[in-house]
Every structure is written in structure tokens, then in C-alpha cells.
């Protein structure tokens, strides 16, 4: 089953005039993706990612700030994928040692 999105102008109009309808469309399409996905692990990861995206959007003061946060999230993911492609493993994070200084 193929799903077609409304024209971009219609999506922009919904965003300005009827944001609740746009959110309902997003939720409907997201649920459709989950239904079509057979892997339980992928479903869990998709739900977690959607929750993270929603949190970034809701914690932003305006649409520009949320766009910048989402671009940073996507950029980080692309960088991680590039690292895996080059080195065959995920990059390690926060392997720094804490140095204690004597008083």
C-alpha cells in the first residue's frame, strides 16, 4: 500500500492554521510505519527516536531553534554512520578519565 503525502503547500498551511491536524497526520504515518515493520527491536528504536524528536521540538522556544536541534541530531547520526562505515564499529563515547586533584 502506497501512501502519498499532501503537497508541501498543504502541509505548510496545516502547520500554520491547523497544527493539531498536522500532528494527527504525523502520528498516523508513524503508526503505519510501525505496523509495517516486522522487527520488534526496530520498532522500539523507532519509538525511542520519535520520543527524542518530540522532546527536542517541545523543549524549543521557536521553530528555528527546534530545526537547529533536529539538524544537529541528524548530523550526529550521519557522523556515527560514517564512522561505522570507515572503521566497522560504533564510536565510543565518554571514555575520558577523571583526574582528581589534591587540595
pLDDT at 31 over 80: yes
Helices (H), the chain: 8-17, 19-36, 40-58, 63-87
Q: Give the Cα separation of 65 and 69 in Å (integer).
A: 6
Residue 95: pLDDT band with limits 50, 70, 90: low
pTM, 2 dp:
0.71
pLDDT at 4 over 90: no
Amino acid at each position: 500500500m502506497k501512501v502519498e503525502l499532501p503537497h508541501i503547500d498543504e502541509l505548510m498551511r496545516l502547520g500554520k492554521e491547523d497544527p493539531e491536524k498536522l500532528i494527527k497526520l504525523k502520528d498516523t504515518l508513524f503508526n503505519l510505519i510501525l505496523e509495517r515493520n516486522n522487527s520488534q527491536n526496530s520498532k522500539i528504536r523507532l519509538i525511542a527516536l520519535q520520543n527524542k524528536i518530540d522532546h527536542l521540538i517541545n523543549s524549543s522556544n521557536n521553530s528555528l531553534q527546534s530545526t537547529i536541534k533536529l539538524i544537529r541530531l541528524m548530523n550526529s547520526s550521519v557522523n556515527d554512520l560514517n564512522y561505522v562505515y570507515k572503521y566497522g564499529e560504533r564510536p565510543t563515547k565518554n571514555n575520558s578519565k577523571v583526574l582528581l586533584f589534591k587540595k
